[in-house]
Every structure is written in structure tokens, then in C-alpha cells.
Amino acid sequence: MRVKQIINRKPADLAVALDNLKNSAADLLLIFGSIEHFSFPGFHESIRSAFPEALLLGCSTAGEITAAGVDDGTSSITAIKFDQTRLSQGNTRLTGMDDSFAAGERLGKQISAAGLKAVLVFGPGVKINGSALVNGITSIIGTSIPITGGLAGDGGAFKETFTIGPDGVANNQIVAIGLSGDGLRFGHGSFGGWEPFGPARKVTRSEGNILHELDGEPALEIYRRYLGEHAKGLPASGLLFPFAMLGEDHSAVGLIRTILGIDEASGSLILAGEIDPDGYLRLMHASTDKLVNGAESAAEAAAAMAQGAGESVAILVSCVGRKLVMGNRVDEEVEAVGEVFGKAGVLTGFYSYGEISPFAPGASCKLHNQTMTITCLSEA
């Protein structure tokens, strides 16, 4: 496997930046960039012209990640040439949040191939039920094949996000790549670093990823009461205080849910993924040191699984909420990951509105919030 990467600072300079990649053979281009880059005229056309045969996969971000650290307002393009891995591409348009499961089914059918070993998927960051998307894919390809990826961002605005695939750039497109072949080494890791506080609250009314009531009260009312002054900044300030999902016995189930939006009229919260209608929720907060330690743990898990030879690519999908908590120390979690993979690992990725990964090797895939999720690609 051979890997080459460019970072483009200005949208208008893309064609010049691509000249540095043109001599690189590529089967797959991983593309992550700001809204300004993805919406710039000719963005897809320039990339397609430079690499007419390569498959394109990526999305807009709430911050771009490379080995150089965290940027805003840039785009990164990572060209990968595989020696032993076969790729199958899928993409579908999402007609609405209630189409999420069916969209996953459609993707699953497109990427299903003999010897399928893993899936990379990126979807819109708004107007989507990420849990249902993952469940739809899994219903077709089974639970034993790892699915990783994430939901796009738009710099924290939560208004319009983009993905890029075979049909170009779109705000309602889910894109995926299936990877097959005995030579593929695919590693993944996902850790948080958040701590719960306050009492556990019973979910008394919910529909999918819409939380209507906690302990018989409107969820938005309770949430605002806890946030105090931070409530003025909703929904964005909700990234600082996600929910831990608890079972009926109040034990943690290992999933965190971020608030993506609020509905003033109904007093409800729109979460990034589904919640257990019979479970409990508890607020969480975090410190930078704990988040950095979580990122390092995710990297160690992914590296231990992959164990390939030669070059590798590490795809980092970290929640925008972590970026807000860490502030000007956000580069530290990327540095921690870089130290694990060393010089042979090329880092790429983005800050997201949802992370997709199994809990651990062999576990079923889930939509996560507020984690650092890492996928490592290499070959034997």
C-alpha cells in the first residue's frame, strides 16, 4: 500500500495543490474539508479530473485533522494505492430522517461483495438518524463485519453538511466503501473520556432519536435547568454536556448521545442517535487530559488490530464536542494518536457530528457521540 497526502489552504488553490498528487497512483481518495471548500465551484470536478479512475470518499467537517494538527477552513486529500485490497462503492440519497434505516439497507446491498472484510461510511450530519443508518447496513452485511466512519460537520453550525462520492458533492448523500481481500489489515478503536454527573433520569417518552420527556417532564426544560447560563447557546452548547445512556438497572451501556437540535414547540431534544425508550440518561462532562487519554487508548486499540507492514492510514473521527471542550489544546489528542502510529502512519480525518465504530473487535457496530474513533488501514 502506498499513501500520499496534500493539504489545501484556499479553495481557489485546489488545482495547483492537486498537481502535487497527480503522479500518484490511487484507488481511493479520502477527502475531508470545510464547508467553504466543499461548496466552492468546481471542487468535485477538479478532483475527478486529476483522478478519473479513483473512488472518492469523504465529507465536510467541523475541523480537519492531519499529522500537522487540527485546522479550520482547509481540505485534505489522501491518495491510497492498494496492492491486495479490492473496493466496492455505494452511495444513496437520504429522503429524510425516517429514511435512515432504508438508506442503510440500500448501501449494504451495493457494497456487499465476496470476501467483504470492512466498511467505511460517511453521511450527512443533520437530518439523519445515525443509529438507524448503521442498523440498516448491518441488516444486510451482518454484525461480524466492522463498519467505521462518521457523520459530516459544518463548522458547528448544524445547518447543512456535505459528502462527496461518485455523484459529486451533495447535502443528502450517504457514501460508503466496502473493502475486501485477505491482505487487508483493518483496525479500529473508539474511546471517550467523559464522566457522568448528576442523577440518572428515566426516559418517559421518546421516539427513535427524539427525546420528549425525562421523569415525566419536557426534556428540553430539564436540560436547560441543568445547563444554566450555557442554555443560551443551545443547541451548540449541548456539545459540552452530552448524555450517557444507562440501562434499566442504571448501569452504563457504553454509549453517549449528543444533542443535535431542539424543538421549542414540543420541548424535545433531537439526539444524534437512538436511545432506549425504557432506559435512563445521565449528563456528562470532561476535561482535556481525560479526552487526550481516551484518544490515545483508541489509537492503541486500532494499531493493535491492524498490525500491517509498511505504510498505513489512520482515519481519525472525533466529535466536535471534544474540540469545544479542549479549545486551544485540541491538537494534543491528535499528537497523542500520532505518537502511537509513528512515522509510517499517515493521519487524516475530521471533527464530526457522530462517530461510527464497533465497541471492540467482534462487537456490533454502533453510532457513538463524543468519542475519538480511529480506523487503521494497512496491508500484510
**Structural domains counted in the chain:** 2
* pTM score of the predicted model: 0.91
Q: What angle do CA 298, 300, 306 make, to 5 degrees?
A: 100
Q: Are residues 19 and 74 in the same domain?
A: yes
Tell me, yes or no, whether 251 and 332 share the same domain: no
Question: pLDDT band for position 239 (50/70/90)?
Answer: confident
Q: pLDDT tens digit string along 45-86?
A: 999 999 999 999 999 999 999 999 999 999 999 999 999 999
Q: What's the alpha-carbon Rg for the chain, to the nearest Å?
A: 19
Segment 331-353, tens digit of pLDDT: 999 999 999 999 889 999 999 99
Task: Kindly state whether residues 207 and 299 are assigned to the same domain.
Answer: no
What does the alpha-carbon distance between residue 176 and residue 145 come to, in Å, rounded to a whole number?
Answer: 14
- Which of 285, 304, 331 marks a domain boundary? 285
CB half-sphere exposure, 258, CA atoms < 13 A? 30
Residues 129 and 108 in one domain: yes
Q: Are 113 and 129 in a shared domain?
A: yes
3-state secondary structure of 161: coil
**Range of lowest pLDDT (29-33, 92-96, 245-249, 296-300):** 245-249
**Based on the domain organization, do 37 and 97 belong to the same domain?**
yes
Using the 3D structure, point to which of 251, 285, 319 is the last residue of a domain: 285
Which of 251, 269, 285 terminates a domain? The answer is: 285
Range of the structural domain that residue 257 is part of: 195-285
In terms of domains, do 260 and 307 share one? Answer: no
Helices 130-141 and 100-111 cross at an angle (nearest 10°) of 40
Dump pLDDT digits (tens) for 168-205: 999 999 999 999 999 999 999 999 999 888 999 999 99
Mean residue pLDDT of the chain comes to 94
32 and 151 together in one domain: yes
User: What are 212's three cell numbers?
Assistant: 420528549
Closest CA to 176 of 343, 84, 57, 300: 57
The pLDDT of 248-254, averaged and rounded, is 86
In this structure, the answer to whether residues 331 and 316 fall within a common structural domain is: yes
- For residue 266 the three cell numbers come to 414540543
What's the confidence (pLDDT) of residue 371? 94
